[in-house]
């Protein structure tokens, strides 16, 4: 019991001592407590996170496409006889000049451009064809029955010396014969959107319902000259076929006027003189003259004027 009382007295003294300490130091303790609490609760500065900038896009700067459109210098057009004509820049497909180019007129033997394309679409060049009959209408080579010619040789006769007999031989040997060949010519014209063109024969002889236009023939020539076989043949000045058939190109500008590479002449009484020409003097143009009284002079004047008047 005495021990308990002694421990109680010690405890009470410690309590009184602690109480006096707290009462004496209460403001200081309170301040320190507030400081500690503030430091604990106050948001610390966020840790800086290094963020890499987004990668810079790599732009590819292309050089501007050069303007290849021909620009006119307004040099007066030379006087020509053709009633219908068109000058087409082949690269840009821009019409450089035209006169009544959409009017449907007889195309004469420029028809054979389409005849050749249908034959090239339909026959291998090495196919052999036997001539069954002779022909005498218009410009002919003079093939005789029994002669054997390849399709390639017939194309030379067709395009170099404009043989009507070559056109008829190719048409008659088409699957379905001549009528189907002419249907194929018209189908190709429709596919190429030659809206002022219709064919009733493979030669270009005058016939009701057979017509084309300068604009359509320019478009047709542009397509035809993409065919390497066609381009090679129309650029040929002379050739010799079996049977001693000597061919001379009817295009008098070929080999004489710089840059002329073809392509097709034409003439009938109703059509007058016609000529489709491709020229390359650094820039390629296609010229079509229809219903002319001097197709070679007209075309040469237009060639010289085109390269003098226009710059690219």
Mean pLDDT of successive 10-residue stretches along the chain, which has 312 residues: 55 58 53 52 50 45 62 94 98 95 98 98 97 93 96 98 98 97 98 98 97 98 98 97 95 97 97 98 97 98 97 90
The residues annotated with a catalytic role in the active site are 109, 112, 162
Task: Report residue 266 as tokens.
Answer: 């034409």
Instruction: Please indicate, yes or no, if residue 288 is contained in any of the structural domains.
Output: yes
48 occurs within a structural domain:
no
CA distance 6 to 297: 147
pTM, to two decimals: 0.78
User: Does 32 map to a domain?
Assistant: no
For residues 85 and 214, is the Cβ–Cβ distance under 8 A?
yes
Q: Which residues of 103-132 are buried (b: 16+ CB within 10 A; e: fewer)?
A: eebbbbbbbbbbbbbbbbebbeeeeebebe
Give how many domains the chain has, as a whole number. Answer: 1
The per-residue pLDDT for range 152-187, each reduced to its tens digit, is: 999 999 999 999 999 999 999 999 999 999 999 999
- Domain assignment present for residue 178? The answer is yes
Residue 18 lies in a domain: no
Q: Are 269 and 206 in contact (CB under 8 A)?
A: yes
CATH code of the domain containing 264: 3.40.710.10
Residue 170 counted as domain residue: yes
Domain of residue 178, residue span: 71-311
- The pLDDT assigned to 44 comes to 52
For residue 68, the model assigns a pLDDT of: 75
CA–CA separation, 165 and 162 (whole Å): 9
Question: Do 94 and 109 meet the contact criterion of CB atoms below 8 Å apart?
Answer: no
Q: Does 27 fall in a domain?
A: no
Asked if residue 8 belongs to a domain, the reply is no
pLDDT at site 237: 97
Is residue 285 a contact partner of residue 260, using CB atoms and an 8 Å limit?
no
- Distance, in Å, from the CA atom of 115 to the CA atom of 126, rounded to the nearest integer, reads 17
């Amino acid at each position: 019991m005495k021990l308990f009382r002694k421990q109680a007295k010690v405890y009470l003294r410690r309590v009184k001592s602690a109480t006096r300490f707290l009462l004496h130091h209460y403001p200081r303790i309170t301040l320190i407590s507030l400081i500690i609490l503030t430091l604990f609760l106050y948001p610390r500065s966020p840790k800086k996170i290094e963020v890499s900038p987004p990668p810079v896009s790599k732009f590819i700067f292309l050089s501007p496409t050069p303007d290849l459109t021909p620009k006119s210098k307004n040099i007066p057009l030379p006087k020509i006889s053709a009633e219908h004509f068109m000058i087409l820049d082949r690269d840009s497909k821009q019409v450089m000049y035209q006169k009544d180019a959409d009017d449907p007129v007889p195309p004469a033997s420029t028809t054979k451009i389409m005849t050749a394309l249908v034959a090239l679409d339909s026959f291998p060049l090495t196919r052999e064809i036997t001539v069954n009959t002779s022909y005498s209408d218009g410009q002919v080579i003079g093939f005789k029955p029994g002669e054997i010619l390849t399709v390639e040789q017939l194309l030379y006769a067709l395009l170099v010396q404009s043989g009507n007999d070559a056109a008829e031989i190719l048409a008659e040997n088409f699957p379905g014969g001549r009528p189907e060949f002419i249907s194929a010519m018209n189908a190709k014209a429709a596919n190429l959107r030659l809206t002022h063109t219709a064919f009733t024969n493979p030669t270009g002889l005058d016939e009701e319902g057979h017509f084309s236009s300068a604009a359509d023939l320019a478009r047709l020539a542009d397509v035809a000259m993409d065919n390497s076989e066609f381009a090679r043949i129309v650029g040929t000045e002379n050739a010799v076929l079996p049977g001693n058939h000597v061919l001379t190109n009817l295009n008098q500008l070929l080999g004489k006027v710089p840059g002329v590479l073809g392509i097709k002449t034409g003439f009938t009484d109703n059509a007058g003189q016609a000529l489709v020409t491709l020229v390359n003097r650094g820039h390629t143009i296609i010229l079509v003259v229809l219903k002319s009284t001097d197709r070679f002079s007209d075309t040469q004047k237009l060639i010289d004027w085109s390269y003098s008047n226009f710059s690219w």
